[in-house]
Every structure is written in structure tokens, then in C-alpha cells.
Chain A
Amino acid sequence: MELWFTERHTPNVKFSIKVDHQLYSGNSEFQRIDVFDSKEFGRFLTLDGYMMLTEKDEFIYHEMITHVPMAVHPNPKNILVIGAGDGGVVRELTRYSSVENIDLVEIDELVVEVSKQYLPTTACRFDDPRVHVYYEDGVKFIRRCTDQYDVIIVDSTDPFGPGEGLFTKEFYGSCFKALHDDGIMVNQHESPFYAEDAAAMQRSHKRIVESFPISKVYQAHIPTYPSGHWLFGFASKKYHPTADYNGTQWSMLGLKTRYYNPRLHVGAFALPNYVEELLKDVE
């Protein structure tokens, strides 16, 4: 018997992973949640059939979405994470001793419960006393916040489905309002490669550019996401992601990472020409 998980990356491209067995399948109020075991990628989580993370490559995504803003901000204490119910971002954040408070806002409680049970590699720091989990719509949560966070990390799903609101201008504007005057927002920024993803990426970039004075994009290679070429948005009120970056200072923290390092930090902001053009089109 052969059991395969397949995700449609475009109407003409499919990506498949051979499944060893399925560990969990359930429906929450918002989406279908599945966890599988596989030989090649280890355990993996999908939402509505879309790949969220695999044990083998999640470190790339979580390190890049977390350490880039944390290394640019000179003194990040109060952090807001939106989405990220799998716990990966929280795991990386709790490694910083300077952090005093982490608010995690996840719309779907079941994602956190399932992650705690089946994904111990990411959902391993929810018991840190600095972590506070709120189960509500991020769009609603942030509407009430003013001038209170140093860093906001938006770890959203795709712009279709429950995460839709996290790609809107009203949401980015609310993030701006919720940040201190030197705050930074980083978001999952889709892929520039396939046409549909690229359009979503451009739409999202345009809205961030209109909301923040500094808005840059950086990249990483994530094998299990469509095309493998993935982007993150870096939006900031004061700090430039490379000009205001002190890699030595970050290195002195002594955090051991598998993907992120100071040279890569700077290099990640150097984008291919076609991506630069896509971004310029909407700036």
C-alpha cells in the first residue's frame, strides 16, 4: 500500500510526500487539521490540506521569521505573535532572555491542542511563564492595542481562509498602531514564484508599504512550500533591517541556530531581480 499526501501548488503542479501513517485528523470551527508521519520529512501538519510545517524543514521558517526582527531591534521586550499555533515562533522567542512578555493570538484553539499533542519539536515552550495565549481573531485582538509592542510577528496561513484578515490593510494599520515608535512587524509574505502566490505577495506588500515608513522583503529557502522560494516582510517604524543591524551583538547572545546567521541576515535582503521588480511594481 502506498499512501501519499498531495498539495496542489498550482492548477498544473502538485507536490507529494509519501505518508507513513496519519496520526490525527479533525475539524475545528475554522478548518480541517491533519498530522502525518513520513519517512522523508518526519512529522508534518497540514491545515485544510495546505502544508504548514514539517519536522525536517520547520527550523528554516521559524528561525527566519523570528531572529531577523529580534536581531534588528536593540531591546525587544514585549512581543506579539499572531497565528503560530504550532508553537515554533514561541520556541525561538523564548530563547531570548531579554524578552519579558510574549502574547500569542491564535484563532484556532484546536491547532494549539493538536500541536501540543503531536508536534513536540515546535509546541515545546507554551509553558514558559512569559507566554500568554489568546484564542481570538488577530484582526480583533490588535484593534484594541496601542503603542505597546516592540515586535509583532505575523505567522499567518495563506490569504484565503481563516487567515485572510491578516493580509489586509486594516490589519497592517492596526499593527502600526500597536507598535512602539521603534517597533518592527515581520510577516509571512508568500512566494514570488507561481503567478497566484506572486499576486498575493504583491497585494500584501503594497498594503504594508502604505502602512509603514520602512518596508523591506527578505527570503529563505523552504523546501516544502510552493516553489521552495519563500519571502518574509520586514516593516518598521524606525530601524532599517540591514543598516541598523549589529550582527556581532546578536552573535554575542550565543544562540545556536541551524539556518540563521549574521551574514545570512544581510544576504537574505538581497533579492533576485525579478522579485525586486515585482515589489517595485507596487511600491
Chain B
Amino acid sequence: MALSQVDAPIYEALRKFRRMRVVPFDVPGHKRGRGNMELTEFLGEDCMNVDVNSMKPLDNLCHPVSVIRDAEDLAAQAFGAANAFFMVGGTTSAVQSMIMYACKEGDKIIMPRNVHRSAINAMILTGAVPVYVDPDVNHQLGIALGMSVSQVEKAIEENPDAKAVLVNNPTYYGVCSDLRRITELAHSHGMLVLADEAHGTHFYFGDGFPVPAMAAGADISSASMHKSGGSLTQSSFLLMGKDINADYMRQIVNLTQTTSASYLLLSSLDISRKRLALSGREIFAKTVEMAQYAREEINSIGGYYAFSSELINGDSIYDFDVSKLSVHTLPIGLAGIEVYDLLRDEYDIQIEFGDIGNILAYVSVGDRTRDIERLISAMSEIKRRFGKSGTGMLTQEYINPVVAEPPRKAFYAKKRSLTLDEAAGNVCTEFVMCYPPGIPILAPGELITPEIIEYIKYAKEKGCQMTGTEDINIERLNVLAED
């Protein structure tokens, strides 16, 4: 019998398996939780009962032939893809897999510099060489936008040997490039189009959202089901168009993916796909309604600027994801990261991230109207209690990097450690970024400028959580040593 979106093959197989009360003489050693009661009491017996290993009735993610394959087919159908893979190493592993599929050592890939670190990590793993397209910048908000089509065209013409173009769809803030035209351009030059849709899963299921990668004709997409899709943290989808060899992709994925994929993650993907396919439209209509309401209320407080589709400019902001609640905070005299900290410390509200000029509150169907009211009121109170003049705030958020060496070469090169102040003028061999959002300020191979040092110091002082360097305190940077 043909399966349809009401089915969830992995979930159903697990339920059936649980009823069979099979005696476990295999891993995991907690044996349905009995061997670790404290953990079982904490997570619940139902959870431990389905934390099982791959076996014939439950298929195997590394080589799926039954229920996982069926579930992947249903996911492909739901997303309008030719093939879909369940991923258990986060969208990070999906992004890396699609780059490793497209590029071998020395191959060029065109991408905006405001990519997630996972994309640049893939450069280190594969030895691929990034060709950065400087994203357009909104100087008022201090955020990097999408890539303009003309910039992509220029990069393609200057690098006709590039293998692929990577596009954020959307960026963390909800900004989309013109994915359809970029795809046409890239394809006409024989390049693949890879989409990082870590923040765009909902595009596939809701109305009125920017075009999702598969519909735009892109070749591969990494879609974070665990963000807007409702599945468990670390679970994700890798989506493939018709021209991608899925069997080869499976081999690429298996280079780095675990052979003990968690059935908690797999079943969460399966159930969430079913849920979105059946009722995604209503779910995301409600999400957008809440985000829109919050935006209007926050803008009526004054000072704050909750931005949205009015930013659309036909090119570097070709479209905007209205489910994102991004707010510019500098006019009230507070850095985004300060508002982020105040919301948590003073009002017990945890938001997604704050950077120098903005905050992002993640709105989803799990939110209740009364919680939205709390968020708005807390922001109103922060302005009343802590607001000051917005002059003199550092606005520069995105700094165009100067790439001196390919990431892999710099990462593995002979290096030395310098203090932040000494480091200017040298070539960095490691990442520096605020997490979240995890977009590098410096990536391996990039020139350290005084401007970047100033930025790092300011971000640290304001309380951004910095990561990436070997030195856990981010007081020293590794730089290329002279030969």
C-alpha cells in the first residue's frame, strides 16, 4: 500500500517494536533504562524505551532499506525534493555534506561571507577554496544582508571554474537573496546551488513565505527541522534536487555521520514532518500572526525598531521572512546583547540571540499570547529603566574580510599565539565568532585588522559569548608564523 503524509514509518515501527517487548542483548547498555534509573526518572521511561540501536525491524540510517527509507521518501515528497535524508548531526553536518558533495580539494565555491561556521569548517575538511561575495550591508541596522544578483554574477564570471554557489535562505535575521535568479545564473554556468536553510524550514509549509530552495530549483538544501519545524535539537534534513546523485551523497554523509543514529532524533523528524505536512499552513499562519503582533507592539513602544518586509529592496533583500522577530535596539542606547542579558537576568525571558545592534526573539507555534505580552512588556520596561541616549553606540556589525589564505591552508599551517593587540596585521588561523549566531568575525586565513580587534573587544565588553579560538578567554589569537 502506498504511504502518504499521514504515515510516520519510523514512529510506527518504534511503537510496534515497543509492544513486542523484545529482550535486549544489544546496545545501548542502559537496557530500556533499567540500568540507569536516575536517568530514566529524569527523561521518562517512554523515552528510554525507544532509545534503541539499529536493527532489521527499525532499519539503519547508514544504509536504509525499509522504514527509514520510507520515511525519507515521505519527507522528500513533503518538501518537494527528489530525495531527502534524515540527519542526526545537526544542520552543521548537512551543510558540510552538501559542500563535500560539490567540492574536492582546491575546488572553488562562491558564497556570502556571512555564512554559518559550518560552511567554512567544510572548507577546512575538504580543502575547497571560498570565493566570498561581500553581502550588502544595512548600515542603520548594522546587519549583513543577502547577496545581490550582480555581485554573484561578477563572482561567477571571475571564477568560471567554481563548482557551486552557496546561498543563505534566509539569513539569521530573515533576509533572502533572489534565489531563483541566482539559481538560473549558476546553472547556466554549470555550477550547483547549495542552500543553507537552517532558518527556512517553514518556507516549505507556510503561505506567504520566501521561496524555498527546492521550489527555486536549487540542487541541495540543509533544512533545520529542529528550529522552526518542531523536531528535537540536532535533527535536520538534507534535501536533494533531481540532478543530485543521492547514492553518492549517502557515501559523503557516511564519511562523518555516526553509525549509531539516535531513534529519538529520527522519530522526532518523522513525526514533525507528518505534522508540518498535515497542518503546517495553520501552524505558520499563527506564528506569523504572533510575530506580526509583537512587531507592531514593540514598534509602538518607541525607540526600538522591529524590522520586517518594509526593508525589501528587490535585490540584496529580495524577500523577508516575517516569522522572524528581529529588533534593532541601538536607538534606546543599549546594545542588542545588553537587551538580551537584561531580558534573562531581570525578566526571566530567554531569547535567541543579541548582537551589537539587534536582538532576535524566536517565535513559534509553541508560544502563548500571554508570553508574547510578557516579552513586549519586558522590552517596554527595559527602555524605561535602562534606556539612554543612542548616540555613540558602535553600529558597525559586519566587516568585510580580507582573505589572505584558503581556510584549510591557514588552519593547518605553522602558527604562533599573539595577544589581541599584537595580532593586528597578521593572518588569523582560527575562527572568532559570537555564538549565537555563529557567523565568524574572523575565519582561518583572514587578515586581522585593527577594526576587527576593536570589534572583538567591544563585543566582549558588551557581554557577547565569543567562541572559536584555542584560547578559551579570547585574549590571544593564533596567527600564521613566518616560514
Question: A156-198: contact bitstring with B at CB < 8 Å (1 yes, 0 no)?
Answer: 0000001011001111011001000000000000000000000
Which of A139, A142, A173, A177 is the one whose CB lies under 8 Å from B370? A139
Q: From residue B354, how far is it (CB to closest CB) to chain A in Å?
A: 17
Say yes or no: B373 contacts A173, CB within 8 Å. Answer: no
Judged by DSSP, the binding face of B is helix
Q: A165-B374, A168-B347, A169-B347 are in contact. Are A174 and B381 (CB under 8 A)?
A: yes
* Contact between chains at B384 and A139 (CB < 8 Å): no
B290 to chain A, nearest CB (A): 13
Beta-carbon contact of B370 and A164 below 8 Å = yes
**Chain A proximity mask over B368-387: 1 for CB below 8 Å, otherwise 0:** 01100110111011001100
A137 nearest in chain B by CB position? B373
Establish whether residues A143 and B377, one from each chain, have CB atoms under 8 Å apart when the complex forms.
yes
Q: Is B41 located at the chain interface by the 8 A CB criterion?
A: no
Q: Which of B376-404 contact A (CB under 8 A)?
A: 376-378, 380-381, 384-385
User: B369 contacts which chain A residues (CB < 8 A)?
Assistant: 137
Bound complex: CA A177 to CA B348 (Å) = 20
Question: Given the complex, which residues of A lie within 8 Å of B377, measured CB to CB?
Answer: 139-140, 142-143, 165, 168, 170-171, 173-174
Residue B346, interface by CB 8 Å:
yes
A173 touches B385 (CB 8 A): yes
Nearest CB of chain A from residue B292's CB, rounded to whole Å:
15
List the A side residues contacting B347 at CB < 8 Å: 168-170
CA distance A165 to B371 in the complex (A): 8
Interface membership of chain A positions 55-86, coded 1 if the CB is closer than 8 angstroms to chain B and 0 otherwise: 00000000000000000000000000000000
Contact A177 B384 (CB under 8 A): yes
| Chain B nearest CB, measured from A155 CB (Å) | 17
Expressed in whole angstroms, the Cα–Cα distance for A162 and B376 within the complex equals 17
Partner of B381, one of A162, A164, A169: A169
A162 touches B385 (CB 8 A): no
A139 to B376 Cα, complex, angstroms: 9
Q: Give the shortest distance, in Å, between B241 (CB) and chain A (any CB).
A: 44
Expressed in whole angstroms, the Cα–Cα distance for A125 and B387 within the complex equals 42
Bound form: Cα–Cα A177–B376 in Å: 15
Whether the Cβ atoms of A143 and B376 lie closer than 8 Å is yes
Contacts of B348 in A (CB 8 A): 168-169
Residue of B nearest to A169 (CB): B347
**CB of A143, distance to nearest CB on chain B (Å):** 5
In the bound assembly, the distance between CA atoms of A177 and B369 in angstroms comes to 23
Among B369, B373, B380, B385, residue most surrounded by chain A Cβ atoms (within 10 Å): B373
Minimum CB–CB distance for A237 against chain B, Å: 14
A182 and B346 alpha carbons, distance in the complex (Å): 25
Contacts of B385 in A (CB 8 A): 173
| Of the residues A142, A162, A168, A177, contact of B374 by C-beta under 8 Å | A168
Q: How far is the CA of A170 from the CA of B347 in the complex (A)?
A: 7
Contact A173 B381 (CB under 8 A): yes
> Residues 120-148 of chain A: 1 if any B CB is under 8 Å from the residue's CB, otherwise 0?
00000000000000000101101100000
Question: Whole-angstrom distance between the alpha carbons of A142 and B385 in the complex?
Answer: 16
Q: Which residues of A have CB within 8 Å of B346?
A: 169
User: Contacts A168-B347, A169-B346, A170-B347; is A139 near B374 (CB within 8 Å)?
Assistant: yes
Q: Is the CB of A170 within 8 A of B381?
A: yes
Closest to B343 in A: A170
**Bound CA–CA A68/B373 (angstroms):** 30
In the bound complex, how far is the Cα of B297 from the Cα of A143, in angstroms? 10
Contacts of B104-163 to chain A: CB distance below 8 A:
none
Please indicate the chain B residues that have their CB under 8 angstroms from the CB of A174 in the complex.
377, 380-381
Docked CA distance A164–B372 (Å): 12
Q: Are B378 and A170 in contact (CB under 8 A)?
A: yes
Q: Which residue of B lies closest to A164 (CB)?
A: B370
Q: Is A173's CB under 8 angstroms from B384's CB?
A: yes
Q: Cβ of A165 and Cβ of B384 under 8 Å apart?
A: no
CA distance A75 to B385 in the complex (A): 28
The answer for the CA separation of A171 and B384 in the assembled complex, in Å, is 13
Q: Which residues in A have their C-beta under 8 angstroms from that of B297?
A: 140, 143
- Could you say which residues of chain A place their CB within 8 Å of the CB of B380? 143, 170, 174
Q: Give the Cβ gap from B342 to chain A, nearest Cβ, in Å.
A: 11
In contact, B373 and A139 (Cβ under 8 angstroms): yes
The chain B residue sitting closest to A144, CB to CB, is B300
| A136 (CB) vs chain B CBs: closest residue | B373
Contacts A143-B380, A177-B384: A170 and B374 contacting too (C-beta < 8 A)?
yes
A171 contacts across to B, CB distance below 8 A:
374, 377
How many angstroms between the C-alpha atoms of A174 and B384 in the bound complex?
Answer: 9
B339-377 contact mask (Cβ, 8 Å, vs A): 1 or 0: 000000011100000000000000000000110011011
- The interface residues of chain B lying within 8 Å CB-to-CB of A137 are 369-370, 373
Q: Is the beta-carbon distance between B381 and A140 smaller than 8 angstroms?
A: no
Provide the B161-194 mask, 1 if CB < 8 A to any CB of A, else 0: 0000000000000000000000000000000000
Residues of B within 8 A of A164 (CB): 370
Distance in angstroms between the alpha carbons of A169 and B378 in the assembled complex: 8
CB pair A140–B373 under 8 Å, yes or no, is: yes
Q: Given the complex of chains A and B, what is the CA–CA distance between A139 and B379 in angstroms?
A: 12
Contacts of A169 in B (CB 8 A): 346-348, 378, 381
CB closest chain-B residue, reference A107: B370
Closest residue of chain B to A173 (Cβ to Cβ) is B381
CA A140 to CA B384, docked complex, whole Å: 16
Task: Tell whether A162 pairs with B384 under 8 Å between CB atoms, given A139-B377, A168-B347.
Answer: no
A177 vs B385: C-alpha distance when bound (angstroms): 10
Q: How many angstroms from the CA of A169 to the CA of B345 in the assembled complex?
A: 11
Return B218 CB to nearest CB of chain A, in Å. 42
| Contact partners of A143 in chain B: CB under 8 A | 297, 373, 376-377, 380
Instruction: Pull 7 A–B residue pairs with CB atoms less than 8 Å apart, ordered by A.
Output: A140-B297, A140-B376, A168-B347, A169-B347, A170-B380, A170-B381, A173-B377
Q: Give the interface of A toward B (CB within 8 A).
A: 137, 139-140, 142-143, 162, 164-165, 168-171, 173-174, 177
16 other A-B residue contacts (CB within 8 Å) besides A162-B370, A165-B377: A137-B369, A139-B370, A139-B373, A142-B377, A143-B373, A143-B376, A143-B380, A165-B370, A168-B348, A168-B377, A169-B347, A169-B348, A170-B378, A170-B380, A174-B381, A177-B381
CB-CB nearest 8 A-B residue pairs: A170-B377, A170-B378, A173-B381, A139-B373, A170-B381, A140-B373, A143-B377, A137-B373
